[in-house]
C-alpha cells in the first residue's frame, strides 16, 4: 500500500466517523451507568467516551455505505477466508451486528441456505433500507433487517447460533449493555465472533480508535457469561476472536 493511499484511507474513515457522529441516533438511557467515563477525545475517530480504559469510537454514518463496499476490501480483509473460519452450516441463525450495507449479510445468507436465517442488525434505518433494496433486487428471502438500538440489538431470546461483529464492537456506545443483550440472544453453546483491526500492529492503516487489542477484547468480555474459545490471526489486518455462551448454572435456572 503506498503512502498516499494510506493517508487518503485514514482521512476517509475520519470523515465517515464524523458524519456518523452527527447522524440521527436512537435515544440513549437517561442515566448513563457509572462504568463509563467522558472527557476530551484523545485519538482520531474517538468520541471522548471511555470504557475500561478504551476510548469508544464514533459510529460510521450511513453516508459511508460506499466505503463498506469498496473493491479493495476483498484484498484488505479477505472476507471469503473469514467465512470459512466461522464454521457456518446450513440452517443456522446468524446475527450480523452492525450490518451496514449488508456486505457480510448477503454472503452469510448463501452459507446458511434457505433453511437458515441472517438477522441484519443496524441502528441506522438508512443502512437497512439499502439492505432491503438489495434483497428485493436479488430476490433474497433469508435475510431479515432488524432496527436495533444503542443498548439492544432486538434479537430473539435464545434464538441465535452465531453473532458476528465485523469492525463494529469498538463503536458500541454502550458495550456492556449490548453484550448482555447479545448473550441473552444466543442459544446454549452459541458463539460470538469479534472481528477487529489489530491495534497491536502499527502497520494496519486504520485510525487507532477503530482498532482493538486482543487483550482489551478479553478484558471487556470477562464480566459476562461467555468463555474465550480461540483467537485466529490468519486475516491480513484483523483478529477473529471467538467466545461461547457459558452453560447456565442450576441455581440460575431455579431462580427463573
Q: What's the pLDDT tens digit per position in 121-171?
A: 999 999 999 999 999 999 999 999 999 999 999 999 999 999 999 999 999
Which domains occur in the chain, in start order?
A: 3-255 (3.40.50.150)
**Is the backbone of residue 154 left (phi > 0), alpha (psi -120 to 50) or beta?**
left
pTM (predicted TM-score)? 0.86
| pLDDT tens-digit series, residues 177-197 | 999 999 999 999 999 999 999
Which secondary-structure segment (H or E) carries 193? strand 186-198
Helix residue spans in the chain (DSSP H)? 3-22, 65-68, 73-77, 79-85, 105-112, 125-138, 175-185, 214-221, 250-255
**Confidence at residue 30, expressed as pLDDT on a 0 to 100 scale:** 44
| pLDDT tens-digit series, residues 44-62 | 889 999 999 999 999 888 8
Amino acid at each position: 500500500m503506498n503512502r498516499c493511499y494510506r493517508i487518503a484511507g485514514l482521512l476517509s474513515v475520519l470523515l465517515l466517523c464524523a458524519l456518523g457522529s452527527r447522524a440521527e441516533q436512537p435515544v440513549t438511557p437517561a442515566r448513563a451507568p457509572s462504568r463509563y467515563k467522558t472527557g476530551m477525545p484523545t485519538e482520531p475517530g474517538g468520541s471522548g467516551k471511555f470504557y475500561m480504559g478504551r476510548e469508544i469510537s464514533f459510529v460510521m454514518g450511513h453516508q459511508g455505505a460506499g466505503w463498506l463496499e469498496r473493491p479493495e476490501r476483498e484484498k484488505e480483509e479477505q472476507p471469503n477466508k473469514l467465512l470459512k473460519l466461522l464454521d457456518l452450516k446450513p440452517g443456522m441463525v446468524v446475527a450480523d451486528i452492525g450490518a451496514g450495507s449488508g456486505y457480510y449479510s448477503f454472503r452469510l445468507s448463501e452459507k446458511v441456505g434457505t433453511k437458515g436465517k441472517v438477522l441484519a442488525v443496524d441502528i441506522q434505518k438508512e443502512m437497512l433500507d439499502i439492505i432491503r433494496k438489495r434483497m428485493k433486487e436479488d430476490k433474497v428471502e433469508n435475510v431479515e433487517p432488524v432496527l436495533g438500538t444503542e443498548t439492544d440489538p432486538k434479537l430473539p431470546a435464545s434464538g441465535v447460533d452465531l453473532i458476528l461483529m465485523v469492525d463494529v464492537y469498538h463503536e458500541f456506545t454502550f458495550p456492556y449493555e449490548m453484550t448482555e443483550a447479545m448473550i441473552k440472544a444466543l442459544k446454549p453453546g452459541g458463539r460470538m465472533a469479534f472481528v477487529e483491526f489489530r491495534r497491536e500492529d502499527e502497520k494496519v492503516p486504520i485510525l487507532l480508535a477503530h482498532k482493538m487489542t486482543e487483550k482489551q477484547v478479553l478484558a471487556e468480555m470477562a464480566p459476562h457469561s461467555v468463555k474465550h474459545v480461540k483467537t485466529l490471526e490468519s486475516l491480513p489486518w484483523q483478529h477473529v476472536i471467538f467466545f461461547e455462551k457459558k452453560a447456565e448454572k442450576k441455581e440460575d435456572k431455579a431462580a427463573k
